[in-house]
């Protein structure tokens, strides 16, 4: 008998669960089984030919942890009796046709020939880690669903990932859940603590970082220059470099997401961009940075007078590096009313061409100056009914004066020259408390559903709704609240910042799809394409999100780009 006992594993890890005893007279199946067992279980494997040998081995060897038995039918009764007193897991190894053998009744798991590696895995998980059984079942189910479920899962994961990464990239806090006031309190407390103690890149630091990048542009955004603008003595150049490295990775990831179908990479690393596609990164990035910065500044100023922001001066000293603000002739936002119509371009072709130009470099590192610099085409609001996504852009329109200023009144004004030379701009004023007060006021009124637009004319923001465009040349800074169903900047869509409900409903929708249409795979046309989800109604009261393939110029309510 000893000669039949084969210890096949030399480097196996001995465990308290003991060795595996394999009873099988079929040399062929043994040859394939033993290596699999050895590899997967990391246990010694003994092999005997028949039931009688096995029993004597079991009597002598104490540490048998598992018996895999292929015994003759005539022996099975005898063998079972002998095994009866032992508490050793028994796996019958049977041919498919004789699967109803007695042995199988005692067994918790049954191996059927021919045996695959998967069978071994499953068996080991059942026997060695039976608590993982449920998980295993799930996996098996998922495997059967193949592409459709995988697709959904990847997609869902992707959305989840983006929920944080996107918003943090843009310096926002993701609002994907609602919290009770107490939870909010705890959250705020912990965040505050974290930021004070451990976190180097606090929110306001990151905002300054983003602002610096907005100012410098992608190419000039080097750690040293960024730090100079940030003027933060608590930061080292290395730290900025590290953060920049991370930021660039994030940007690249987003870029890859957007690239998939509609962006064509060319050799010179520029991108062609379909003219009817809405450029996702708007000048509002810059605007947002400013506003964020301003509100932070306000908070700091009110809470502790010791913290001084030197950003203002640093920027002022770098007037020449500020982005150039070009402007359209008669652009205004008056017909971009609050009742849903969007800004249109009278010269559609020109605008579309420009859109393509704008999008040459789809990089959030440098959205602002591109948009602003190319935003010089004559626009008017005569054409209604067509969305061009322009509403999210910062629009500067013409005036005779050569300085940037705000009038504090019922509404605010910014007067800009037709071609703003940065060195002529009154940046000091722009960063003054007065300007801040105005901006801050605006942000308070509409929180995160607003964009800042600069409109020409002297209308008040209330007038934006219905008043005819004025004839004079002064410019006005006004708020353009998001309208339900309006085009929304891509960054908002991805992080669902603007509408926390959307994510919930999307999730519910996906769950629903998962459960009820498990057998219905995604349309083949969807797989491998970007998916666009459009709310059937402006507000998803039910779970009926319609799914559209590909983002088109007509479906722009909600673009959710999936990776795969």
Partner DNA sequence: GTAAGAATAT
Partner DNA sequence: AATATTCTTA
Residue whose CB is less far from DNA, 245 or 517 = 245
Binding segment (CB under 7 A) for DNA, from list 54-62, 221-229, 427-435, 503-511: 221-229
Minimum CB distance to DNA, residue 168 (Å): 6
Of 25, 248, 253, 449, which one interacts with DNA (CB under 7 A)?
Answer: 248
Contact between residue 240 and residue 223 where contact means Cβ atoms under 8 Å apart: yes
Residue whose CB is less far from DNA, 243 or 559 = 243
Residue whose CB is less far from DNA, 11 or 234 = 234
Binding segment (CB under 7 A) for DNA, from list 173-181, 244-252, 260-268, 512-520: 244-252
Stretch 515-554 residues interacting with DNA (CB under 7 A): none
Binding segment (CB under 7 A) for DNA, from list 117-125, 193-201, 461-469, 533-541: 193-201
Minimum CB distance to DNA, residue 290 (Å): 22
Consecutive H or E run containing 420: strand 419-420
Q: Does 208 bind DNA (CB under 7 A)?
A: no
Residue whose CB is less far from DNA, 245 or 270 = 245
Q: What angle do CA 363, 365, 368 make, to 5 degrees?
A: 90
Contact between residue 491 and residue 281 where contact means Cβ atoms under 8 Å apart: yes
Q: What is the 3-state secondary structure (H, E, C) of 138-169?
A: HHHHHHHHCHHHHHHHHHHHHHHHHHHHHHHH
Q: Does 168 bind DNA (CB under 7 A)?
A: yes
Q: Does 255 bind DNA (CB under 7 A)?
A: no
Binding segment (CB under 7 A) for DNA, from list 110-118, 197-205, 350-358, 434-442: 197-205
Q: What are phi and psi of 364, to 5 degrees?
A: -60, -15
Q: Does 237 bind DNA (CB under 7 A)?
A: yes
Q: Does 209 bind DNA (CB under 7 A)?
A: no
Q: Does 34 bind DNA (CB under 7 A)?
A: no
Residue whose CB is less far from DNA, 241 or 360 = 241
Q: Does 39 bind DNA (CB under 7 A)?
A: no
Minimum CB distance to DNA, residue 194 (Å): 9
Q: Does 158 bind DNA (CB under 7 A)?
A: no
Minimum CB distance to DNA, residue 173 (Å): 12
Q: What angle do CA 355, 357, 360 make, to 5 degrees?
A: 110
d(CA 229, CA 457): 34
Which residues, 6+ apart, have CB-to-CB distance to 504 below 8 Å?
176
Of 80, 241, 316, 437, which one interacts with DNA (CB under 7 A)?
Answer: 241
Q: Does 225 bind DNA (CB under 7 A)?
A: yes
β strands within 242-359, DSSP E? 264-265, 271-272, 325-326
Q: Does 201 bind DNA (CB under 7 A)?
A: yes
Q: Does 256 bind DNA (CB under 7 A)?
A: no
Minimum CB distance to DNA, residue 112 (Å): 41
Minimum CB distance to DNA, residue 233 (Å): 14
Q: What angle do CA 89, 95, 96 make, to 5 degrees?
A: 105
Contact between residue 531 and residue 499 where contact means Cβ atoms under 8 Å apart: no
Among residues 139, 150, 135, which one has the least CA distance to residue 518? Answer: 150
Return the structure tokens found at 463: 């007038």
Residue whose CB is less far from DNA, 320 or 519 = 320
Minimum CB distance to DNA, residue 172 (Å): 13
Of 60, 106, 160, 224, which one interacts with DNA (CB under 7 A)?
Answer: 224
Q: Does 244 bind DNA (CB under 7 A)?
A: yes
Return the structure tokens found at 351: 């605008």
- b or e along 304-343 (b: 16 or more beta carbons within 10 Å of the residue's beta carbon)? eeeeebebbebbeebeeebbebbbbebbbbbbbbeeebbb
Among residues 436, 229, 406, 215, which one has the least CA distance to residue 313? Answer: 229
Token pair 């942890």: residue: 65
Residue whose CB is less far from DNA, 366 or 475 = 366
Contact between residue 502 and residue 449 where contact means Cβ atoms under 8 Å apart: no
Q: Does 187 bind DNA (CB under 7 A)?
A: no
Of 144, 189, 238, 324, which one interacts with DNA (CB under 7 A)?
Answer: 238
Measured between alpha carbons, how far is residue 446 from residues 261, 440, 450, 540 in Å? Answer: 35, 10, 5, 22
Residue whose CB is less far from DNA, 209 or 309 = 209
Token pair 């409109």: residue: 455
Residues that bind DNA (CB under 7 A): 168, 199-201, 222-225, 237-239, 241-246, 248
């Amino acid at each position: 008998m000893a000669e039949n006992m084969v210890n096949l594993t030399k480097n196996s890890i001995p465990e308290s669960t003991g060795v595996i005893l394999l009873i099988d007279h079929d040399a062929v199946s043994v040859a394939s089984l033993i290596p699999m067992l050895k590899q997967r279980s990391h246990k010694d494997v003994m092999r005997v030919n028949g039931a009688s040998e096995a029993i004597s081995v079991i009597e002598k060897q104490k540490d048998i942890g598992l018996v895999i038995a292929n015994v003759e039918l005539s022996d099975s009764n005898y063998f079972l009796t002998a095994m009866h007193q032992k508490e050793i897991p028994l796996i019958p190894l049977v041919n498919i046709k004789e699967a109803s053998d007695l042995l199988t009744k005692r067994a918790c798991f049954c191996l059927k020939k021919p045996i695959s590696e998967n069978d071994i895995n499953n068996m080991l998980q059942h026997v060695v880690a039976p608590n993982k059984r449920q998980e295993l079942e799930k996996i098996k189910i998922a495997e059967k669903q193949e592409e459709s479920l995988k697709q959904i899962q990847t997609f869902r994961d992707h959305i989840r990932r983006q929920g944080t990464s996107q918003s943090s990239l843009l310096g926002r806090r993701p609002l994907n859940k609602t919290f009770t006031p107490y939870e909010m309190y705890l959250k705020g407390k912990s965040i505050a603590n974290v930021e004070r103690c451990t976190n180097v890149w606090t929110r306001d630091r990151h905002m300054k970082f983003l602002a610096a990048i907005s100012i410098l542009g992608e190419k000039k955004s080097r750690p040293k220059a960024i730090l100079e603008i940030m003027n933060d003595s608590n930061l080292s150049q290395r730290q900025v470099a590290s953060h920049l490295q991370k930021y660039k990775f994030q940007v690249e990831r987003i870029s890859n997401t957007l690239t998939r179908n509609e962006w064509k990479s060319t050799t010179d690393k520029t991108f062609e961009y379909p003219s009817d596609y809405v450029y996702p990164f708007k000048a509002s990035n810059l605007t947002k940075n400013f506003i964020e910065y301003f509100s932070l500044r306000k908070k700091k100023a009110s809470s502790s007078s010791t913290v001084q922001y030197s950003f203002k001066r640093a920027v002022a000293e770098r007037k020449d590096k500020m982005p150039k603000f070009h402007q359209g002739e008669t652009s205004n936002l008056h017909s971009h009313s609050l009742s849903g119509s969007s800004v249109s371009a009278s010269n559609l072709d020109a605008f579309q061409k420009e859109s393509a130009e704008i999008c040459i470099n789809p990089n959030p590192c440098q959205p602002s100056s591109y948009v602003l610099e190319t935003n010089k085409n004559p626009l008017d609001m005569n054409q209604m009914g067509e969305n061009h996504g322009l509403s999210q852009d910062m629009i500067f329109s013409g005036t005779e004066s050569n300085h940037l200023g705000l009038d504090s009144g019922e509404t605010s004004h910014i007067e800009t020259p037709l071609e703003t030379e940065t060195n002529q701009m009154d940046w000091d004023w722009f960063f003054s408390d007065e300007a801040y007060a105005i901006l801050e006021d605006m942000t308070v009124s509409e929180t995160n559903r607003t964009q800042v637009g600069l409109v020409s004319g002297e209308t008040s923001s209330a007038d934006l709704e219905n008043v005819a465009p004025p004839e004079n040349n002064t410019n006005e800074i006004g708020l353009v609240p998001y309208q339900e169903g309006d085009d929304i900047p891509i960054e908002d869509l991805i992080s669902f910042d603007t509408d926390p409900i959307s994510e919930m409903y999307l999730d519910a929708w996906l769950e629903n799809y998962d459960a009820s249409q498990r057998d219905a795979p995604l349309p083949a046309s969807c797989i491998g394409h970007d998916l666009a989800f459009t709310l059937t109604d402006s507000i998803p009261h039910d779970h009926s999100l319609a799914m559209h393939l590909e983002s088109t110029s007509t479906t722009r309510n909600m673009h959710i780009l999936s990776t795969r």
